[in-house]
A and B are shown apart, each in its own frame.
Chain A
Amino acid sequence: MMTAEARALPFGHPDRRYFLAVDGRLRLWTQTQALLDRVLKARPLPLLPDEPPATSPEYAQLLAYQRCFDRLHGYFSPTPPDLYAAVTGRHGDLPYPFTGFLRLMQMIRRLALAMGRTGQVSFLDMGCGVGLKLVQAAEFFDVVHGVEYDAERAEVAGSLIERSRRAQDRATQGDALTFDDYGQYDVIYAYKPLSDPELLQAMERRMIAQARPDTILILPYFEIDFRFDDLGLTRLSDKVFLTGGAGRDLTQVLQKAGHIGTILPQAVIGLPGAEGFTEPLRQALRHWGHLA
């Protein structure tokens, strides 16, 4: 594209700068077309892709990452995490495995996109403990809120979220059994906030009664498997459910999610407009998780 005439122009000449920029955009176009072809030809990706083999370097890295987060969890906890806290019926600060949580978040993001959530996607962690899951969830969702019964842990979580400098996020002290805002969220996560079976069911009923139709619930405990149908939920995946009625046909949503990638969009580096005519396509590829 850069002809001899254009190359002969003085440095800094507007036309020379223009042709140099066009060269860059054409290279980007070639790369983008190649990416598009790969995306169109790719097989659907499982909602929960296989973990790397236990002998792989990636697995060892994930394990180290998991242990690192476990240590952080211990460090931030005002008291040692305990299965049964002093308050009757409520669990202590039990962390769901951090790497497993990331897999869940990746899947939920794809499902939310498949369900047509194009605006801000909000996430609630009911029983957020010291708030580390909120930090992870913030990578995937636009708004993350945490509620924690234990005042000391809620304070730690609140401080952590405040330092993340996302004004829309927060973590506060509250009770799952009296919480009134379950209907404000697109995704609700609750990992063993209550140890008493009856209280746990009371929380589920309250949550489901308030939640909007098509709210994604992540309830990673085995008891839910025995009653999700009676609660009016449809299963999206293991321990992941959708409100709005039992037994719904989600085939289309699941098929669509299989074609959505896992890459999280990032701010475009470079001058505004540098992507030029490739921008509509690159933005679409970003939206569907195929381009950073």
Chain B
Amino acid sequence: MFETVATYRRQAESVEADLMTRTTDLATLIDPPFRLPNVGGSADCWMRQKGHAGSFTASGPPR
């Protein structure tokens, strides 16, 4: 069981590191005036355009 937990933790830490990259990118997005090239004003679309496929929400890890 502990081995499984350790695996989960490594995965989660990796995902958190990826999310840190995303939020750092997003932080530049709100530097006004906003630059949302052809994404219809959606932060999620913008992230996808930047190559961050999938989303990561409280319901589970990225798919």
Contact of A277 among B20, B29, B32, B44 (CB under 8 A): B20
Give a binary string over B16-50; 1 marks a CB under 8 Å from any A CB, 0 the rest: 11011011101111111110100001111000000
**Known pairs A3-B8, A29-B56; A290 contacts B30 (CB<8 A):** yes
Which secondary structure dominates where chain A touches chain B?
Answer: helix
Contact between chains at A9 and B12 (CB < 8 Å):
no
Question: Is A280 interfacial (CB 8 A cutoff)?
Answer: yes
- Chain A residues 19 to 38 lying within 8 A of chain B, measured CB to CB, are 19, 22-23, 25-27, 29-30, 32-33, 36-37
Shortest distance from the beta carbon of B26 to any chain A beta carbon, whole Å: 5
Q: Which residue of B lies closest to A258 (CB)?
A: B32
Contact between chains at A280 and B27 (CB < 8 Å):
yes
Contact between chains at A284 and B8 (CB < 8 Å):
no
CB neighbours (8 Å) of B60 from chain A are 1
Contact between chains at B5 and A9 (CB < 8 Å):
yes
Interface size of A by CB at 8 A reads: 42
Contact between chains at B23 and A281 (CB < 8 Å):
yes
Contact of B8 among A6, A33, A41, A290 (CB under 8 A): A6
Contact of A260 among B1, B5, B29, B32 (CB under 8 A): B32
Contact between chains at B20 and A26 (CB < 8 Å):
no
**Known pairs A26-B57, A29-B57, A30-B57; A256 contacts B32 (CB<8 A):** yes
Smallest CB-CB A-B distances: 7 pairs: A259-B32, A284-B27, A281-B23, A277-B19, A277-B20, A26-B58, A280-B24
**A residues near B, CB below 8 A?**
1, 3, 5-6, 8-9, 15, 18-19, 22-23, 25-27, 29-30, 32-33, 36-37, 39-41, 114, 252, 255-256, 258-260, 276-285, 288, 290
Known: A40-B30, A285-B30. 15 other contacts (CB 8 A): A1-B12, A8-B1, A9-B5, A15-B5, A18-B12, A23-B58, A26-B58, A29-B19, A29-B58, A37-B41, A37-B42, A40-B43, A259-B34, A260-B32, A280-B26
